[in-house]
Amino acid sequence: MDLFQKCYDYTIVKEAIEAGIYPYFHALESGQDIVVTMEGRRTIMIGSNNYLGLTSDPRVIEAAIKATEKYGTGCSGSRFLNGTLDIHLELERQLAEFLHKEACMTLSTGFQSNLGIISAIAGRNDIIICDKENHASIYDACRLSFATMVRFKHNDMEDLEKVLSEQPDNKGKLIVTDGVFSMGGEICNLPKIVELAKKYGARVMVDDAHGLGVLGKNGRGTAEHFGLEDEVDIIMGTFSKSLASLGGYIAAKEEVITYVKHTSRPFIFSASIPPANVAAALTALNILKQEPERVHNLNSIADYMRELMRKNNIPLKESQTPIIPVMTYEDMRTFVICKELLNEGVYVNPCISPAVPQGQSMIRTSYTATHTRELMDEAIEKFVKVFSKY
């Protein structure tokens, strides 16, 4: 059998394009902002993870330019060898301090950060207890680790305790959960997770990719939101969302970070984050520290849009974060609605199976601290116009 036969048989993309409803790879012709130019059209962007609105901030842009002028366009090597710059170390120092952890290390992408920490800290004799709706990078990391992975029902603490009670005492145990779940926007039940971890002798890791800059009075994320910063063993996050750059990090005790730095294959065998991205993330972090009101603005605008959707009978799925899912249920219906919204000048993200359960397709909308109520009023008019047909 020809290895490529599966490629020739994969016709769904061509069929969707011919039907005019293919929803992916729409090209932006402007910077990532609250209003963008997409394929020649003015478009309200409510499908971005630019939570704090910093991707277009002049301070962040200037920092990236200056870093490129000083250090060049790349690092030409792994952090383990020649690829460590002084600004890598400064970013790690400031992140550790901000997150109230002893140490921090950065990796080239958020996806790689989960691969890097989980595959290093968990091995064949360990058990990873994983929320069923955790990010795909966590699942891939579990496979790479060779540890036994056991899943518990999404945000179901009774099921988590059942799973924990079934594990042997002589195994290392790591509970891994998203802080803010990227599809539904729910917040994990961190207080109960911490309680159960103590009861059953497990460690806790929170993927806070969608929590940093979103939750907590100072934007430190899920642990700050619940007042549990001293109780979470490992915090992972990304720079590609609130911090307006590219890359990721893990923060933990110094001994843990030292161990991972010297044993993590994704870290050791990858080139380090380019200077422009490091400088952008560092500047964005400092803006977050200086302007924590951005976190309030972000959640305020999301609450405003959530209330508009309720008033106009848009079938939203309730959440407490700037991720607001709108239910469409069927895959094809999702594609059509996304296409019609884009035609009206609003960009949203389609989420279909297997990213969500079969029959639970949705439109993922997400908001930015610099969105205005006037833009939200304009966007809701487009939603009402499109959803009134269905």
Q: Which of 48, 108, 119, 182 is catalytic?
A: 182
Q: How far apart are CA 113 and CA 215, in angstroms?
A: 21
Q: Which of 135, 210, 339, 371 is catalytic?
A: 210
Q: Is residue 182 among the annotated active site residues?
A: yes
Domains parsed from the chain with CATH numbers = 5-56+293-387 (3.90.1150.10), 58-290 (3.40.640.10)
Which residues, in sequence order, are CB contacts of 357 under 8 Å at separation 6+?
none
Q: Supply the pLDDT for residue 357.
A: 83
Q: What is the dihedral of CA 207, 306, 309, 377, to 10 degrees?
A: -110
Residue 360 structure tokens = 């639970």
Q: Supply the pLDDT for residue 358.
A: 85
Three-state secondary-structure class, residue 204: strand
Q: How far apart are CA 206 and CA 370, in angstroms?
A: 27
Q: Which of 231, 321, 252, 328 is nearest to 23 (CA)?
A: 328
Q: Which of 362, 379, 326, 323 is nearest to 44 (CA)?
A: 379
Q: Supply the pLDDT for residue 390.
A: 81
In the sheet with 203-207, reading across from the earlier edge strand, the strands are 103-107, 248-252, 234-238, 203-207, 172-178, 126-131, 148-152
Contact 263, 272 (CB under 8 A): no
Q: Supply the pLDDT for residue 42.
A: 97
In eight-state DSSP terms, residue 187 is B
Residue type present at position 307: E
Q: Is residue 210 among the annotated active site residues?
A: yes
**Residue 201 neighbours by CB distance under 10 Å:** 12
Which long-range CB contacts under 8 A does 290-297 form with residues at least 24 apart? 292/217, 292/218, 292/219, 294/52, 294/53, 294/213, 294/219, 294/369, 295/52, 295/213, 295/214, 295/215, 295/216, 295/217, 295/218, 295/219, 295/369, 297/369, 297/370
Burial class of residue 22 in the structure, from the number of CB atoms within 10 Å of its CB (0-12 exposed, 13-18 middle, 19+ buried):
middle
Q: Which of 218, 215, 221 is nearest to 234 (CA)?
A: 221
Q: How far apart are CA 112 and CA 100, in angstroms?
A: 23
Residue type present at position 45: M
Q: Which of 173, 241, 339, 371 is catalytic?
A: 241
pLDDT in tens, the chain (390 residues): 899 999 999 998 999 899 888 999 999 999 999 999 999 999 999 999 999 999 999 999 999 999 999 999 999 999 999 999 999 999 999 999 999 999 999 999 999 999 999 999 999 999 999 999 999 999 999 999 999 999 999 999 999 999 999 999 999 999 999 999 999 999 999 999 999 999 999 999 999 999 999 999 999 999 999 999 999 999 999 999 999 999 999 999 999 999 999 999 999 999 999 999 999 999 999 999 999 999 999 999 999 999 999 999 999 999 999 999 999 999 999 999 999 999 999 999 999 888 788 889 999 999 999 999 999 999 999 999 999 988
Q: Supply the pLDDT for residue 354.
A: 81
Contact 149, 274 (CB under 8 A): no
